A = this chain, B = another copy of it.
Amino acid sequence: MTDSPIAAAPEADSSLATARQADARDPLAHLRDRFELPDGTVYLDGNSLGPLPRAVLPAVTDLVRRQWGQDLITSWNVHDWWGLPRRLGDQLAGLIGAAPGQVVCGDSTSVQLFQAMVAACRLRPGRSMLLTDGASFPSDQYLADSVGRLLGLRVVRLHPSELAAYLGEHGTQVAAVSFSLVDYRTGELFDAAELTRTAQAAGAVMVWDLCHAAGVLPVTLDEIGADLAVGCTYKYLNGGPGSPAFIYIARRHQSQVELPLTGWNGAREPFGLNSSYVPAESIERARIGTPALLSMAALEAALTAFDGVGIDQLRAKSLALTQQVIEFADQRLARFGVEVVTPRRPGLRGSQVSLRMPAAYEVCQALIERGVIGDFRAPDLLRLGFPPMYLSFTEVHRGMLTLAEILADGSYREPRFAQRATVT
């Protein structure tokens, strides 16, 4: 032990002891049993792909073997496959502060964002601009540009902190504003209520991307008078790789919104087989084509991991975990040139901590080799997620200690860690 400067450092013991105490007091510790997690791995990438909830495999097996295999096409009625997008939507609604009947589930986040942005802009036909965050996830920006082109709107990129000033000058021209609630790179959490109010006060329609927020912090769409929102379900909602996204349309907009993807599932009479599209009056109009049932069944089972868990409890533990990590980084990693990019004020951060450092890619690879899985975001960020449902304070401490060791021993400089994988 004495040849490791990290393990021997006195603060190691004190921070480990603190982590153990936190675990002993953690009212959510039992939730870990709802997940399958590989032994020995410290999984700090649940903000990219949540781990496997134990309820999933039995549900998917049942869907495949009994429902599809035995009941075949009749399952649309017998097992209410038809109702699944709406049923899942209502379950998700409860996690994002929405009353039932305002969310449907299906398709990818990209598709749902496209739907939401077109619908938002069409609610304000006389206006000529669509605003998006130039730091938000690429798809959000790419799709804003595509929507702008299709509808003849100018797309302007700005940071959420610049919104009020921008609208003060150009407010009457802005049709819609599309922001992510949590910055996917820095982990900064924006003020949904304030930004929604600002956009709406200028007469614009607000579109929220909840990908890095849903399931891990309180989102109160109805309470803040939100217009439209979308989000994915494979991060903090643990729905599995490529699990379907969702769209929220506030009830007051539902009979007005004109969505571009007019698939037959969204029609008022989907089985009337009519020649002209008449959209459903309800949130059902946001349905498109036949949904990916296997992925939806997995998500439905995955969401049972939230049974009996309050979002405020999750938020409290999430903040404690990220606080632990920020303190560790400040105290023990700054000496290696590591900078905490995520806001230190609890109210301003999501459930991740992003660390800027030289050779972030190589460090990320070296961590994975030692069983600590995070991710890299170009050019220089190590991004670590701290979903509170299944992580313990002790294992997070172990992960951080491993990071400190790798930085201290310089092992990340070995050439194999510089090899680029397809997906980084």
Which residues of A pack against B, CB within 8 Å? 36, 38, 41, 43, 45, 48-49, 51-52, 56-57, 60-61, 64-65, 68-77, 80-83, 107-111, 114, 134, 137-139, 141-143, 145-146, 150-151, 157, 232, 234, 240-245, 260-265, 267, 271-277, 288-296, 298, 368, 373, 375, 377-378, 421-424
Q: Could you tell me the distance in whole angstroms from the C-beta of A141 to the nearest C-beta in chain B?
A: 6
Contact (Cβ within 8 A) A289 B134: no
Q: Mind listing 9 A-B residue pairs with CB under 8 Å?
A: A45-B73, A57-B64, A111-B263, A138-B277, A139-B289, A141-B275, A142-B276, A241-B293, A294-B298
- A353→B125 CA distance, assembly (Å): 47
CB nearest to A54 among chain B residues = B69
Contact (Cβ within 8 A) A290 B234: yes
- A335→B259 CA distance, assembly (Å): 48
Task: Assess A65 versus B52: contact at CB under 8 Å? Given A146-B262, A242-B293, A242-B296.
Answer: yes
Partner of A72 from B49, B157, B242, B294 at Cβ < 8 Å = B49
Q: Could you tell me the distance in whole angstroms from the C-beta of A72 to the nearest C-beta in chain B?
A: 6
Contact (Cβ within 8 A) A240 B294: yes
Q: A51, A111, A243, A261 — which one has the most chain B CB atoms within 10 A of its CB?
A: A261
Contact (Cβ within 8 A) B260 A150: yes
Task: Assess A142 versus B82: contact at CB under 8 Å? Given A68-B241, A422-B76.
Answer: no
Residues of chain B within 8 A (CB-CB) of A134 are: 275
Contact (Cβ within 8 A) B263 A143: yes
CB nearest to A421 among chain B residues = B77
Residues of chain B within 8 A (CB-CB) of A241 are: 68, 75, 81, 290, 293-294
Partner of A69 from B52, B108, B244 at Cβ < 8 Å = B52
Partner of A57 from B61, B232, B244 at Cβ < 8 Å = B61
Q: Could you tell me the distance in whole angstroms from the C-beta of A99 to the nearest C-beta in chain B?
A: 23
CB nearest to A49 among chain B residues = B73
CB nearest to A157 among chain B residues = B275
- A176→B244 CA distance, assembly (Å): 31
Partner of A52 from B64, B80, B296, B424 at Cβ < 8 Å = B64
Contact (Cβ within 8 A) A264 B137: yes
Q: How many copies does the complex hold?
A: 2
Contact (Cβ within 8 A) B142 A267: yes
- A142→B83 CA distance, assembly (Å): 22
Contact (Cβ within 8 A) B82 A68: no
Other A-B pairs, 6, CB within 8 Å; known A38-B69, A60-B61: A49-B72, A81-B241, A108-B288, A110-B261, A139-B264, A143-B262
CB nearest to A134 among chain B residues = B275
- A70→B288 CA distance, assembly (Å): 33
Contact (Cβ within 8 A) B423 A271: yes
Partner of A108 from B51, B107, B137, B271 at Cβ < 8 Å = B107
- A145→B83 CA distance, assembly (Å): 26
Q: Could you tell me the distance in whole angstroms from the C-beta of A412 to the nearest C-beta in chain B?
A: 17
Residues of chain B within 8 A (CB-CB) of A38 are: 69-72
- A36→B64 CA distance, assembly (Å): 11
Partner of A373 from B60, B74, B141, B150 at Cβ < 8 Å = B74
Contact (Cβ within 8 A) A288 B138: no
CB nearest to A48 among chain B residues = B73
Residues of chain B within 8 A (CB-CB) of A423 are: 76-77, 81-82, 271
CB nearest to A59 among chain B residues = B64
Residues of chain B within 8 A (CB-CB) of A36 are: 65, 69-70
Contact (Cβ within 8 A) B108 A263: yes
Q: Could you tell me the distance in whole angstroms from the C-beta of A353 to the nearest C-beta in chain B?
A: 17
- A151→B151 CA distance, assembly (Å): 8
Partner of A51 from B72, B137, B262, B422 at Cβ < 8 Å = B72
